[in-house]
Amino acid sequence: MQRILIIRLGALGDFVQSFAPFQAIRAAYPHAHITLRTTRPFVALARLSPWFNTVEEDTRPTWREWRSLILLGKHLGDYDLVFDLQTSCRTARYFWLAYWMRCLSYGKKSLWSTHVRRAALYHANPQRNEMHTYARQRDQLRIAGISLNTLPDISWLHCHGVHDLKKSYFDIILTKPYVLLVPGASLHRPAKRWPVHGYAKVAQILATRGIRPVVVGTKNERSLAVDICSICPSALDLTGKTSLSELAGLASCAWGAIGNDTGPMHLAAAMGCRCLVLFSAESAPFLTVPMGQFPQQIRSLWVYDLSLLSVSKVVSALW
């Protein structure tokens, strides 16, 4: 196998949980030219890693853009082996694009590891949708003859993250300890969020104990940080101000992280940060809980309705 493609489009939590599969594929094919196809938010982060020779952006063409789809089908068909770690409806269509373009050109069809029945390396496990993301990917790679039984080496991310952090927020490292607060989550799934006043009260308690709250997230979640800082003035608002590598650096140096079931918590867990993840009925811990680096690193609280979760219960779970 000389040319290998890995497809992993997002979201952040899923992308982070593919670190171990990325590493396993590279270890299985150390001399191959491996390309990662991903979406724009993860291109820069992927290019820092040692696992890929090339990282390309998936622009997600619509199904009416037939010229773009023809070019995409030809491009996807040029690889000897494709690992579809996204396994979505979109990537199933990518498989058929590549398949038919190869048929029309009478070329040798590439091997695909995916969830499409026609694929040579079809992931046939009927329970795949009830498996944790990591377990599902491990089972998918097993069918392709690749063993996934080691934690990913993220020393490269630690080095880049702390280096970038020192240039931008060196004073935060000097004023340890600090805790990351992640009050946001998917905009279209508000029930995944613990009410922001809960985070504000936790921030107050942590501040009185000498632990500085640092609020992180996207720029769309800045209003949440404003609410927290209005109640706890010592909290620092970094929403929308950190790159993914800087966020990783923050997590690697933090006392801990508290947040909803959302991408930054997966990144913090991967960096070895102690995490407390809050779950509602919108998601199940056995399917989506972040993967840590050591035992007892990740704690979770599940409440059917997060508005019923008390501040005292969250604080007691931190120690």
Domain extents in the chain:
3-143, 155-317
CB 25 within 8 A of CB 51: yes
Q: Which CATH number, 3.30.43.10, 3.40.190.10, 3.40.50.2000, 3.40.50.150, labels domain 3-143? A: 3.40.50.2000
Rounded distance, CA 237 to CA 225, Å? 6
Whether this model's pTM surpasses 0.85: yes
Structure confidence by residue, pLDDT tens digits, 80-99: 999 999 999 999 999 999 98
Residue 173's pLDDT band, with cuts at 50, 70 and 90, is low
Output b/e per residue, 277-299; b: 16+ Cβ within 10 A. Answer: bbbbebbeeeebbbbbeeeebbe
Name the architecture of domain 155-317: 3-Layer(aba) Sandwich (3.40)
For 275, list phi and psi in degrees, rounded to 5. Answer: -125, 140
Domains 3-143 and 155-317 share a fold: yes
Partners of 83 in the beta sheet?
A: 6, 113
**What DSSP designation does 95 have?**
H
pLDDT in tens, 244-300: 999 999 999 899 999 999 999 999 999 999 999 999 999 889 899 999 999 899 999
CA distance 136 to 134: 5
